[in-house]
Amino acid sequence: MFKSDQNYLRDVHYQKRKDINNVVFTLSTFLIALGIQGLLPLPPLYAWFMVFSGNLAIYWVAWNENKRKLMFLTIVMFFAQATNLLNQWGAI
């Protein structure tokens, strides 16, 4: 295999991984938005699932791309979203 073929394969693999990360990030953002929206409140278990799984997916993307600031921001935002959910149901 020639060196140019290896570079081409590496570039194709990188682009595919980037595309997958973009799709996962977009879907997880919608999950979080649906979980914390206040127009049509969801049952608590569904809202917690959407917020937790959405943040977990964003954290996974940040881990794959080695973005430490996004990892930290995801954790901080999860706590903010969790307190918002607790406040919606009168737990706080």
Q: What does pTM read for this prediction?
A: 0.82
Residue 1 structure tokens: 């295999």
Give yes or no for a contact between 54 and 66, defined as CB atoms under 8 angstroms apart.
Answer: no
Is the pLDDT assigned to residue 1 strictly greater than 60?
no
**pLDDT tens for residues 9-20?**
778 888 899 999
Domain locations in the chain?
3-88
**pLDDT tens for residues 2-11?**
666 677 777 8
Give yes or no for a contact between 64 and 17, defined as CB atoms under 8 angstroms apart.
Answer: yes
What is the per-residue pLDDT for 3? Answer: 62
